[in-house]
Amino acid sequence: MKVLKGRLIDCTGAAPIEAGAVAIDKNKICYAGEAAGLPAEYSKAEVLEIRDGTILPGLIEGHVHMSWGGANSIHWIDYTPQLEMARALRDLQFLRSEGYTAVRDMGSGCVFLKECVREGLLDLPRLFAAGRILTQIGGHGDAYQKLTLEASEKVYGPAFIVTGVDEVRRAIRTNFRNGADFVKIMTTGGVFSQGDKACETCHFSREEIRAAVEEAENQGTYVSSHAQANKGIRTALENGVCCIEHGFYLDEYCIELMLKNDCYLVPTLSIMHTSKVFNESNPHVLPELKEKTLRSYEAHYRSLDLAHKAGVKIGMGCDFVNDPALGCTYDRANMEFERMEAAGFAPMEILQAATKTNAELLLMADRIGTLEAGKLADVILVQGNPLNDIRLMCDADNIKLVIQDGRIVKDITAQAD
């Protein structure tokens, strides 16, 4: 039994409690509230606290690719599954040291790590994984189009390149067979894929999207779409997709549909920010790629503002792909906190996006994402008050204690101020 004491932000939407406490028994939270109200039975429990510490739910990363290998898809040719897995393990460890006790993988080979966790071979953040992404021929996941189609399918690990309803169903059932938790499709092009027009396209037919939704719903889960262009966002939303990743070109109609159908938006500001910074300082980037990135960057902030003001449910994810050249490595994943602030979100909204809302996207809102009695004990202790300065969350050195499922998985409280 342990008790954490400090400023309590439970992320339910309640006001912070300055002198708060969270009591943990085995892997469950058994009390969260005023320290003065702590039941007497916890008086002998080990107390964990730091000066000016804030207790928060374990963070949840809402959009990452744990074994992707960089924005330049040609890297895949050099990859082995063993190398991918080693990188994914290292990066998951980075994420946990930054306070992430759960991760939503939006397409990579890391779905296989879930089996290793189940067998007790590895100790990792909770993994909620899409398996391989579904893309159409010439789509964002068919990213290296100078290769033959057969070679592209072979070397580009994170995607199934599919055509027609039957192939869509087959790919999804294969993903579920491998342990996937939900479905990720790509209904538009993307910024990094040179062969498509991210800003104008719609990929997949209505029938293919509806088949994906049916397959997901048959397994009690949902479809999320990589959707940047307006046409692909609309078509996805009109055909049952309930989460939009990126969402660069939302309009009033899309927002209305999202509200009506209770859909989520996961903005991915950090990857756009690192790409923009990289392009500005790199003379070798193709002019058309520079232009596409800048246009998408500006549209992303405009759309997010529209969705935010309208009250769309908004999660949070950095969309990093472990590319040192771009600066999107997982030791910098917490950059999304300051990017969200730059997009006009209040600190409490950002904290809730990274916990409560992302837990909903993991279909785990009844178990994680807020600090309430009866929930699983995924808890962190942060130095300082993130409501006064959200950038505190961007530095892993401020994340002094990480508890996952009741176990201490990081403890640098001795280094607290």
Residue numbers of the site for Zn ion (CB under 5 A)? 106, 319
Shortest distance (Å) from residue 51 CB to Zn ion: 39
Given the complex with Zn ion, which of 6 and 317 has the nearer CB atom?
A: 317
Which of 6/190 has CB closer to Zn ion?
190
Identity at 184, one-letter amino acid code? K
Angle separating helix axes 206-218 and 230-238, nearest 10 degrees: 50
Nearest to 110 by CA among 100, 120, 124, 99: 124
Residue 67 backbone phi and psi in degrees, to 5 = -140, 70
According to DSSP, the residues that pair with 382 across neighbouring strands are 54, 399
Q: Coil, strand or helix: which one is 258?
A: helix
**Residue number with the shortest CB distance to Zn ion?**
319
* 149 CB-near residues (< 8 Å, 6+ apart): 137, 142, 161
CB of 197 to Zn ion, least distance (A): 18
> For Zn ion, which is the closer residue by CB, 10 or 319?
319
Q: Read out DSSP for 268-306?
A: -HHHHHHHHHHHHH-TTS-HHHHHHHHHHHHHHHHHHHH
Minimal distance in Å, beta carbon 148 to Zn ion?
Answer: 25
The sheet with strand 159-161 has its strands ordered as 159-161, 133-135, 183-186, 223-227, 243-246, 264-266, 313-314
Minimum CB–partner distance for residue 159 and Zn ion (Å): 11
In DSSP terms, 28 is beta-bridged to 25, 376
CB of 328 or CB of 382, closer to Zn ion: 328
Counts of helices then strands in the chain (DSSP H, E): 12, 18
Residue with tokens 């990859």: 79
Q: Are strands 28-34 and 17-25 parallel, antiparallel or unpaired?
A: antiparallel
What's the min distance (Å) between Cβ of 299 and Zn ion? 17
Q: Closest separation between CB of residue 65 and Zn ion, Å?
A: 6
Give yes or no for a contact between 315 and 358, defined as CB atoms under 8 angstroms apart.
yes
Tell me the closest approach of the beta carbon of residue 25 to Zn ion, in angstroms.
Answer: 38
Q: Provide the token pair at 3.
A: 């008790």
319 versus 338: smaller Cβ distance to Zn ion: 319
Local structure of 337: helix, strand or coil:
helix
Q: Minimum Å distance from CB 204 to Zn ion?
A: 17
Given the complex with Zn ion, which of 279 and 322 has the nearer CB atom?
322
Whose Cβ is closer to Zn ion: residue 328's or residue 399's?
328
Question: Closest CB to Zn ion among 332 and 367?
Answer: 332
SS3 (DSSP) at 182: coil
